Amino acid sequence: MSVEPTNVAIIGLGLLGGSLGLALKDKGYNRLGWARREETRIQALVQDVIDETSEDVELVLNQADLTIICLPIPKIMEFCEQYADKFKPGSVVTDIGSVKEVIVIRGEKAFETLDVEFVGSHPMAGTEKSGLDASFAEMYNGAAVFVTPTDNSTNRAVKLVEKLWKDINTTPVQLSVQEHDNLVAHTSHISHVLALALTLAVLDCDEDTEKLRYDGCASGFRDTSRITSSNPQMWREIIENNQPAVLDVVKSVEKEWHDIRTVIENKEYDKLESLFAKGKVLRDDWMKYRYN
C-alpha cells in the first residue's frame, strides 16, 4: 500500500476545508492544516479538525504528500502560482473549486516545471453557510466527487486523489474539465440564479407588502430560496468562471419556463398537471438514487 499518503495538507479551513479535516479524522492521515488567520488555525487544532498547523505555510506544504486547496476559486489559482516551488517534491495537489477548466489550466501550468502534480477535484457537497464554525464531519457523506484528470495526469496522482475521497465515504467520478463545467452549470449553478430571481420577486417590495409576504412565506419558499443565503462573492466567482455554460443553461430553463407559462396562459390545465406529474417522477427517481 505504498500509495497511502502519510501527510495531507488542508489549505483553507472554512466550511469545505474544516469539514474535510473532520471527515479525515481516524482515516489514517496525518492532517496538516493552514489558514491565513491565526485564530482559525488555533480553533481548528482545539476542535480536532486538524492534527498540526504552522504559521508558516511553507512548513506545511513541504511536509505534505497530498495537498487539498480549500480556498475561493481565484485564491486556489493564486496560491498554486505563489507557492509552487514550496510544495514537497513528488507530491500531488488537488482542490475543491466549483469550476474546473480555469483552475486546472492554471494549476497544471503553475507546477509545469516542478516535480509536483495538480489534479482537479470538486465534491458535490456544501451548505449555504460559510466558515469553520459551520463545518461538520458528515457534510461529504455519500456525495459524488468529480475528479478531472487531463492528458497530462499520471495514474498515480489520480489514484492518490481518488483514494482520499473514497476514504471519507464519497464516490469519485472522472470527467473532463469541460464536461464537468457544463454538468455543474446544470446541477448546481443554475439553481442559484433561479433562487435569486424568486427571492427578489417575492421579497424586494415596499414595507407594507413585505410584512404580508413575510407571513405568507413558509417552508416551500424557505427551501426553494435556501441557497440565496449563500456567500455572494463565492457565487459571483463561480458564475464568472463558468459564464458560457451557465448562459446555456439559462436558455434551457427559459425554454421550460416558456412552455409552462404558455400552458398556464392558455388555461391548458390537463397539460399543466402532466408537466407537474413529469417533474415529480423525475425528482422522486433522483431522490431514490441519491438518498436511498
Whole-angstrom Cα distance, residue 156 to residue 176? 18
**Identified binder of its own copies from the candidate list 28, 200, 245, 292, rule CB under 8 A:** 200
Whole-angstrom Cα distance, residue 148 to residue 41? 30
Give least dist CB 221 to its own copies, A: 6
Residues 160-199 as x/- pattern, contact with its own copies by CB under 8 A = -----------x-x-x---x---xx-xxx-xxxxxxxxxx
Expressed in angstroms, the distance from the first to the final Cα of the chain is: 32
By CB under 8 A, the count of residues binding its own copies is 90
Sign of CA dihedral 118, 124, 129, 132: negative
Check binding of 232 to its own copies (CB under 8 A): yes
**Identified binder of its own copies from the candidate list 110, 146, 177, 245, rule CB under 8 A:** 146
Check binding of 214 to its own copies (CB under 8 A): yes
Task: Report residue 85: phi and psi, to 5°.
Answer: -80, 5
**Identified binder of its own copies from the candidate list 49, 125, 132, 157, rule CB under 8 A:** 125
Check binding of 292 to its own copies (CB under 8 A): no
Inter-residue contact 241 to 104 (CB < 8 Å) = no
- For residue 177, the tally of other CB atoms under 10 A from its CB is 20
Give helix 73-83 / helix 232-240 axis angle, nearest 10°. 70
Check binding of 215 to its own copies (CB under 8 A): yes
Contact stretch for its own copies (CB under 8 A) within 46-54, 107-115, 149-157, 278-286: 278-286
Check binding of 20 to its own copies (CB under 8 A): no
Nearer to its own copies, 39 or 270 (CB): 270
Check binding of 45 to its own copies (CB under 8 A): no
Task: Report residue 167: phi and psi, to 5°.
Answer: -65, -20
Check binding of 16 to its own copies (CB under 8 A): no
